[in-house]
Chain A
Amino acid sequence: MSASTMQPNLDQLAGLTGVRAGALSRWQETGWPNSRVEQWRFTRLASLEKMDLRPASVAATAKPAAITAILPENSVILSFSNGVLDVAGLAALPDGVTASLLSENDAALAALAASVPASHPVSDLSLAVMTSGLHLEIAGKVEVPIILVFTGDDNGVSSHPVLSVKLAAGASAVLAEWHQTGVGLSAPLMAIDVGDKARLDYAKVQHESAQSAHLAATGLTLGEGSVFEGFQISVGGQLARLETHITLSGENADCTLSAIYLGRAKQHHDITTNMSHAKGHCVSNQIIRGVLDDSARGVFQGKVHVAPDAQKTDGQQMSRALLLSRKAEADAKPELEIYADDVLCAHGATVGELDETQLFYLTSRGIDRDTARGMLISAFLDDAIDSISHPALAALLRPVTTAWMTASNRAQTGDK
């Protein structure tokens, strides 16, 4: 594919240097991967090429649109509109959090780029365009949740926020991303570095508008004795991929990264994780739950890699998908790559339908079929949601699944 037809159109981008110039030239060389590239076999990007996109302009900051989130009280909100940070919000950051802009900090950008695989299309594209670049440095115990809210309403633009978050040794924080834009493409690139004995509670909600594409690349590095407890929900967008690369780089790190995807109509949700146990005595746990209705498609690709020296690794991963319609489809590609001999690793992936016997039991008690379905779907999802221990984040996530099911029931009733 030639650079001129590649979306977004980067003809206006010039004068880049350093890391960003390298990223731009790699992007222009390769563009979006086609389906022959193994990691993108299940998620095709052809629809992107048909869009007429230009990168959101740094100058054109729209005012933030309303979001449906019920944000935790006392949280600090950093707003991005069309991928551009409202810098005024930085003043409200709590003690212990230091913000800086990444734009020309080449060393920081290089470190950020290193947290996801080299030549990753989202990484290259978003580094090159970078509608905003923000670095947060967190020291000490920060209890106030920090919520990154992404809105935007211009479907002719692509949004490329680039973020890095670094927790110093022993620090703790609560971080959430809420994505609810109407832009053509959101491609956030994020690096999270959790220092030794630090703790991060994290949640991400992908709630983009129905016509949007959301392609995220996140790199997560956990230091010795650190704890990461994260959760992702993918519910919006036409095409979405939440790709996370985790490196357990110190011993005794503990990583939970669970995810839910909820799809209807022709939505495509892709959850891709790469859990790399580089050091021993670490625990990783992933619970993935998907519910797909209509002609929606869900993909889970999860690799657990255990390095030769990473003895006493405990790596667990379980993916279950529930199909509510005959036209829905779920693909799972769990992979274990283990080079150490004293490890405890398990993975599994199932795809199923609602159990007719369970539905009959509920309806035989007078509970209508839609409510009965909702009860069984809730029970299915609770498995994953129950793994969130931070109350403010649980309160942020639960209404998302509830709202999705309410809408699902409405559609069901409408069919009759």
Chain B
Amino acid sequence: MAPLLEIKDLHASVGDTPILKGINLTINAGEIHAIMGPNGSGKSTMSYVLAGRDGYEVTGGDILMNGVSMLEMESDERARAGMFLAFQYPVELPGVGGMSFLRAAVNARRIEAGEDEIDQLEFVKLVRAKAKHLSINDDMLKRAVNVGFSGGEKKRYEILQMALLEPVLSVLDETDSGLDVDALKIVSDGVNLLRDPARSMLVITHYQRLLNHIVPDYVHILAGGKIRRTGGKELALEVEESGYVGIDDAA
């Protein structure tokens, strides 16, 4: 069986600037992988390339999800195929009601899967149940998407979307940034609830802190657009001790 995600010699540019310079990474079903790296190493670029954002051009290599190349798929097609990106900076959508947004997203996946659209009442119940785990109250649900949310609320709202969409592969882009200890705990607990033998996660972070809560199976160090080292969760602790200095040379 093909791995859940296979990234092969991936090269990508933003404008004329090459950022990713040959990434190789294989994630099997049920695994959590962490990607750590210094600022400017290409971590966020990698998350956008995986999600299919316009302007992030793949110049070589391939991304396969369950054996199928995603390079020709638009971002919405990738999402419906089971890819989810939790944004580092969730986007405010003034005037777009939260519930109708969540429902449109859930229905898009259901229609893709050949299911009926979700019943309105059933949907409200579902959202409330998932929101409770993440300490998201009705007032937050009623507001426009991310508008007037604090940094922590935005991150929790990302995880709520993840919980509703039940993605096959979740990419968490610096989900810990801007979170205090309590918020980090809520978000991590929410993510851990979604651990499942059929699902995988790619956790992108600058700091080791998040990995105490979301414990990875593998840790990769990204620097200069390449994965320089791969190890177990202890690699994160090592980086925490000695920083990223010397990582480039090790490659």
Tell me the A residues contacting B by CB distance below 8 Å: 356-358, 360-369, 371-372, 375-376, 378-380, 382-383
The interface residues of chain A lying within 8 Å CB-to-CB of B85 are 364
CA distance A124 to B96 in the complex (A): 45
Cross-chain contact B54 with A356 (CB below 8 angstroms): yes
Shortest Cβ distance from B169 into chain A, in angstroms? 13
Q: Does B109 make an interface contact (CB < 8 A)?
A: yes
Shortest Cβ distance from A366 into chain B, in angstroms? 4
- One of A356, A364, A379, A382 near B79 (C-beta < 8 A): A364
Closest chain B residue, CB of each to CB of A375: B96
Known pairs A360-B53, A361-B87; A366 contacts B93 (CB<8 A) = no
0/1 string, B94-138, CB within 8 A of A gives 1? 111000110011001100100000000000000000000000000
0/1 string, B56-87, CB within 8 A of A gives 1? 00000000000000000011100110001101
- One of A363, A368, A376, A383 near B93 (C-beta < 8 A): A376
19 contacts between A and B (CB under 8 A): A360-B53, A361-B87, A362-B101, A363-B76, A363-B79, A364-B85, A365-B76, A365-B101, A365-B105, A366-B76, A366-B79, A367-B104, A367-B105, A371-B108, A375-B101, A376-B96, A378-B96, A379-B95, A382-B95
CA distance A363 to B77 in the complex (A): 8
The B146-172 residues at the A interface (CB cut-off 8 A) are: 161, 165
The total of interchain contacts (Cβ-Cβ below 8 angstroms) comes to 74
CA distance A368 to B94 in the complex (A): 19
The interface residues of chain A lying within 8 Å CB-to-CB of B96 are 375-376, 378-379
Q: Does B250 make an interface contact (CB < 8 A)?
A: no
Known: A356-B54, A365-B165, A380-B95. 10 other contacts (CB 8 A): A357-B91, A365-B104, A365-B161, A366-B112, A367-B79, A367-B104, A367-B108, A371-B104, A375-B100, A376-B93
Cross-chain contact B104 with A375 (CB below 8 angstroms): yes
The interface residues of chain A lying within 8 Å CB-to-CB of B53 are 360, 364
CA distance A383 to B93 in the complex (A): 13
The interface residues of chain A lying within 8 Å CB-to-CB of B104 are 365, 367, 371, 375
How many residues of B are in contact with the other chain, CB < 8 A?
29
Shortest Cβ distance from B27 into chain A, in angstroms? 19
Known pairs A364-B79, A365-B79, A367-B104; A358 contacts B109 (CB<8 A) = no
The interface residues of chain A lying within 8 Å CB-to-CB of B105 are 365-367
CA distance A356 to B54 in the complex (A): 9
Cross-chain contact B76 with A368 (CB below 8 angstroms): yes
Interchain residue pairs A-B with the least CB separation, the first 9:
A379-B95, A366-B79, A365-B105, A361-B91, A366-B108, A363-B76, A363-B75, A366-B80, A379-B96
Closest chain B residue, CB of each to CB of A371: B104
- One of B51, B55, B100, B101 near A364 (C-beta < 8 A): B51
The interface residues of chain A lying within 8 Å CB-to-CB of B100 are 375
Cross-chain contact B54 with A365 (CB below 8 angstroms): no
CA distance A48 to B74 in the complex (A): 45
Cross-chain contact A358 with B93 (CB below 8 angstroms): yes
Cross-chain contact A379 with B87 (CB below 8 angstroms): no
CA distance A414 to B55 in the complex (A): 24
The interface residues of chain A lying within 8 Å CB-to-CB of B75 are 360, 363-364
CA distance A358 to B147 in the complex (A): 12
Cross-chain contact B93 with A379 (CB below 8 angstroms): yes
The interface residues of chain B lying within 8 Å CB-to-CB of A367 are 76, 79, 104-105, 108
0/1 string, B39-58, CB within 8 A of A gives 1? 00000000000011111000
The interface centre, meaning the residue of A356, A363, A371, A383 with most chain B CB atoms within 10 A of its CB, is A363
- One of B91, B94, B165 near A366 (C-beta < 8 A): B165
Cross-chain contact A363 with B91 (CB below 8 angstroms): no
Cross-chain contact B90 with A361 (CB below 8 angstroms): yes
Shortest Cβ distance from A307 into chain B, in angstroms? 36
- One of A361, A363, A371 near B74 (C-beta < 8 A): A363
Closest chain A residue, CB of each to CB of B167: A366
CA distance A368 to B91 in the complex (A): 17
The interface centre, meaning the residue of A361, A366, A372, A375 with most chain B CB atoms within 10 A of its CB, is A366
The interface centre, meaning the residue of B53, B76, B112, B161 with most chain A CB atoms within 10 A of its CB, is B76
CA distance A369 to B104 in the complex (A): 12
Cross-chain contact A368 with B108 (CB below 8 angstroms): yes
The interface residues of chain B lying within 8 Å CB-to-CB of A358 are 91, 93
Shortest Cβ distance from B243 into chain A, in angstroms? 32
Shortest Cβ distance from B114 into chain A, in angstroms? 14
- One of B54, B76, B91, B95 near A378 (C-beta < 8 A): B95
